[in-house]
Structure 1
Amino acid sequence: MQLSAYTKEFKQNLQIAFPIMLGQLGHVMVGFADNSMVGRLGAAPLAAVSLGNSLIFIALSIGIGFSFAITPLVAEADGVKDTNRGRSVFQHGLIMCTVNGVLLFLLILLAKPILYHLDQPKEVVDLSLPYIDIVAFSLLPLMIFQAFKQFGDGLSQTKYAMYATLVANVVNVLFNYLLIYGVWIFPRLELEGAAIGTLISRFFMLGMIYYILRRQKKFAPFFTKLQRPLDRKVFKQLFSLGFPTALQMFFEVAIFTASVFLAGTLGTNAQAANQVALNLASMTFMVAVGIGVTSTIRVGNQKGLKNFKELRRIALSTFLLVFVIEAVFAVGFILLKDFLPTLYIDDNTIVISVAAQLLIIAALFQLSDGMQVVILGALRGLQDVKTPTLICFIAYWVVGFPISFYLGKEDMYGSMGIWYGLLAGLSVSAILLYFRFNYLSKKLISDGSIKGLV
């Protein structure tokens, strides 16, 4: 098949993906705002935000993973114009996400004492605990927001979540500025101020997306009275898709979180540098996430129509698109490695120097990181989640983590060694997931169906 058969899909892929990219970047920009403003307070507060967010992100990955189950099911229903099915998935998914938000908040509160037993600097742990309490509570509005977002994404209406996220990001930056530094009538709360800014912005984001969707005619049929009695089969299907997806995200986020803990054993400066590089890599990763969700939506549509040749062609077009974009980011990281860390902290040459070294490795795994998340999106559109979950576990925890643990010791390669493990895990994941998609898509074309994917 000629290259143009794939590149001609770039426009539609980007039309769907662009709002998702901006929305996801909005989430990361909340972290960027926290990090850059807190970084002006010193290396220890920046390391505390890193440590606190590492715990939050583990819980967040689980909640978002469950919410991702909503998108392929709604997309499949939308492909065949089954409004009743889409409404049922949305309403049950909203309940699931609300319950998850409460459970994750409680889980984080119970897990906080673990931080004192992970060989982290005590001053960093002490600073992080009040920050964690507040940001953990913000998971409740964020999880409910995710239900609305994934529902809208499933209907290919991706711009509304983007609007809510970007405006909420402005709200976050404003309250960060006022509360971290104590501007005007507001008290100087430093790290707690950053956390309160995040909390306020997430409640604002939830209120805004609810208001927008309720006023759109396309969404009116889905906002009818809650279906009663609730259907266990729908919850079961959401769980069968959501739980493995949550594990996939957990395995990946957990290895990046492990990198934070491993960096913490090397000292405050190493942990701060690790946070800078991670936050920058997260921004480019969110662009790939947008294309990954696009792959889920478009593959899910074609699965509903049972048009499997188109399904494969469209999925491959998303793989090619993310490869091109991530290659550009990789070059940018290499060229700007000495400048980008100064956006976070400008008075610590050790942190800047170590972060610049890590960005070289981050540039190398841009391609594999982007590819693996988009291929996962395509497999999610096929509702294939069990085998990809096993692949993620093997790639990150059988291959990646042992390398990070061994090479990340102070007498080995230190921070660079930790990131060599990340590079290895992401690369193995991308390769194995591609083999999985290639096998399933060809089998769908030849056989017409694949049973027992989820």
Structure 2
Amino acid sequence: MATTPIIATARTEVAPLLHLALPIVAGLAASTLIGVVDTIMIAPLGTLPLAAASLTTAAMIIFYSAIYGFVSAVGIEAAHRHGGAQADAVAAALRAGLGLAPLAGLVASLLMVLILLILPLIGQPPEVLAIITPYWLAMAAVLVPVALLMVIAQVLNAMDRPWTAAGFAFLAVILNIPLNYGLIWGIGNWPGLGLVGAGLASLIAETLALLIAITWLARHRLLRAQPDAALRKRLAWGGLPLAIGYTGEGAAFAVVGLMLGIFGATALAANQIVQAVGGVLYMLPLGMAAAVAIRIGQASGSGDPARLRPIAVAAIGVVTVWMVAVTIMLILLGGRIAAALSDDSGVVALATAMFVIVALIQVADGVQSTALGALRGIMDFVWPTRLTLLSYWLFALPLAAALGFWAGFGPLGVWAGYGVGIALVAIILPARFWWLTAAANR
């Protein structure tokens, strides 16, 4: 297939991708909005609680990433079966995923608790560590209902019911707001729980949303499949390299947060503001990565390989345009956003500068995320995992440390070095996809 027909076909794929991606984006944004709500409602407590939330978020990213990667195999399986019009097989994938998710969530929770024990050994501010434990433990417990909700969302997205999945995610946000207000600040004469109240609010909100989602699935007979140990085992093995890859990326991102912690509470607080805002704006690339994996999986399952490249080209094009717009916005408005979220002049000044650096990374990050989704759609799991682990851990993080500490550029140097590593992955992953799909375009 020549380049021009691919581009022409890609234009026809933009609308279906957006139709699927936008509700996925809404669901992902809803999940991220819980963190934004926490940031907004914790910020008036002061710089130290905000820094504690930032440090906890850095660790949560590792385990969110691991769980998301692990359960992605369930979504890809469901997409292939849905593309082949195999409704019973889709229900079986859901049942198998719900069997795997609690174990994944529990393991992640326990590992997060263990990380808490080593924080004093890696140079984190003692004044932050003095208040962090109750909030940290509450957020660790959140990982169990989150894992189950992720499986449900993956399968509903694969079934072309993304708005239903988004609805459950928004339900958690809606529940979280009044719970946050009451548990952080109190009601009547009760003074509230402060920082730990935010963690408990998130745990209660996610659990209630999960119970409602399970009830909905049961009423729609989507839980009708019998347990299938062989399928569960296959999905576990398929999800393992994805979990390793996403964990490697998420852990690298978390190490950036830990590096910033060495610069003190101000750097952590500034990073929390930047990541809370940037995380919401990054939802389109994440949603598009999920959408392109599903669309490519459905095309493969229906026996239409000629659509693979046009789908990927359309997805990367949409994400590039969006991330360029985000970059411009963050550069122009970062200072005002920081000032609106903190009254600490040091935090505002550093967050304003961070917004510029992080904005410049956005385009490459969006491309690599989308290309990774395209590779997941054709079930290429292991090679991208190796690439991301090598690029982030042997290149990006050493460069971040070199620029931040040895070259003396501080927190901004840490982010700049990490961004160069992301750019490298953004070049290699699309090339990998193009090479693997060559046979279908001859």
TM-score by length of 1: 0.93
> Percent of aligned positions with the same letter in both sequences?
29
Of 210, 225, 247, the residue aligned with 2:244 is 247
In structure 2, do the counterparts of structure 1 residues 95 and 185 end up closer, same or farther at CA, with 3 Å as the change threshold? Answer: farther
Aligned to 1:449: none
**Counterpart residue number, 2:50:** 46
Q: Which residue of 2 aligns with 1:429?
A: 425
Shift of 1:411: 6.0
8 A Cα contact 2:95 2:225, kept in partner: no
- Match of 1:20, as an amino acid? I
How far apart, CA to CA, are the structure 1 residues paired with 2:191 and 2:35? 21
Secondary structure in 1 matching 2:226: coil
Using the TM superposition, give the Cα deviation of residue 317 of structure 1 relative to its aligned residue in structure 2, in angstroms: 0.8
C-alpha separation in 2, matches of 1:238 and 1:158? 21
CA distance in 1, matches of 2:309, 2:189: 58
User: Structure 1 residues 292-301 or 200-209, which shifts more?
Assistant: 200-209
Task: Please state if 1:16 is matched with 2:20.
Answer: yes
Matched, 1:273 2:270: yes
Q: Is the 8 A contact 1:319 1:371 kept in 2?
A: yes
Alignment partners' CA distance in 1, 2:183 and 2:245: 36
Structure 2 CA distance for aligned equivalents of residues 314 and 62 of structure 1: 26
Contact 1:36 1:343 in 2 (8 A): no
RMSD of the TM alignment (CA)?
A: 1.6
Q: Determine if contact 1:372/1:426 at 8 Å carries over to the other structure.
A: yes
Residue 109 of structure 1: how far off its partner (Å): 2.1
Q: TM-score, normalised by structure 2?
A: 0.95
Q: Deviation at 1:293?
A: 0.7
- Determine the structure 2 residue equivalent to 1:37: 41
Asked if 1:104 is matched to 2:115, the reply is: no
Task: Establish whether residue 80 from structure 1 lines up as the match of residue 80 from structure 2.
Answer: no
Counterpart contact for 1:67–1:150, Cα < 8 Å:
yes
8 Å CA contact 1:53–1:132 kept in 2: the answer is no
Q: 2:63 aligns with which of 59, 69, 84?
A: 59
Residue 433 of structure 1 deviates from its aligned partner by: 0.4
Q: How far did 1:306 drift? A: 2.4
Give the stretch that moved more between structures: 2-11 or 54-63: 2-11
Structure 2 residue identity aligned to 1:422: Y
Contact 2:294 2:377 in 1 (8 A): yes
- Of 204, 216, 222 in structure 2, the residue corresponding to residue 212 of structure 1 is 216
Partner SS for 2:45: coil
- Residue of 375, 391, 398 corresponding to 1:402: 398
Letter in 1 for 2:318: L
CA displacement at 1:225 relative to structure 2: 4.8
CA shift for structure 1 position 319: 1.0
Partner of 2:226: 226
Cα distance in 2, alignment partners of residues 128 and 343 from structure 1:
24
| SS of structure 2 residue aligned to 1:416 | helix
Q: 2:381 aligns with which of 385, 388, 391?
A: 385
Number of residue pairs matched by the alignment = 438
Name the residue aligned to 2:161: 157
Matched, 1:351 2:347: yes
Out of 421, 425, 434, the position equivalent to 1:438 is 434
Which of 94, 101, 119 matches 2:98? 94
Q: How does 1:117-266 map to 2 (within 5 A)?
A: 117-184=121-188, 186-216=190-220, 220=221, 222-227=222-227, 230-232=228-230, 234-266=231-263
Say yes or no: does 1:284 pair with 2:284.
no
Partner secondary structure for residue 171 of structure 1 = helix
Which region of structure 1 is more displaced relative to structure 2, 180-189 or 265-274?
180-189
Structure 1 window deviating more from structure 2 (437-446 vs 331-340): it is 437-446
- Secondary structure of the structure 2 residue equivalent to 1:9: helix
Q: Matches of 1:244 and 1:139 in 2, distance apart?
A: 20
Equivalent of 1:314, from 311, 325, 340? 311
Query: CA shift at 1:332, angstroms?
Result: 0.8
Unaligned runs of 5+ in 2: none
Aligned residue among 398, 405, 414 for 2:410: 414
Contact 1:156 1:297 in 2 (8 A): no
* Contact 1:70/1:154 (<8 A) preserved: no
SS in 2 for 1:337: helix
Q: Deviations over 1:261-303 (max 9, x none)?
A: 1111111111111221122221122221111111011000111
User: Whole-Å Cα distance in 2 between the matches of residues 343 and 31 of structure 1?
Assistant: 16
1:360–1:158 distance in 2 versus 1, CA, 3 Å: same
Opposite residue 323 of structure 2, the aligned amino acid is: E
Q: Which amino acid aligns with 2:202?
A: T
For residues 320-339 of structure 1, what are the structure 2 equivalents within 5 Å?
320-339=317-336
Separation in 2, partners of 1:76, 1:445: 21
**Counterpart of 1:69 in 2: which secondary structure?**
helix
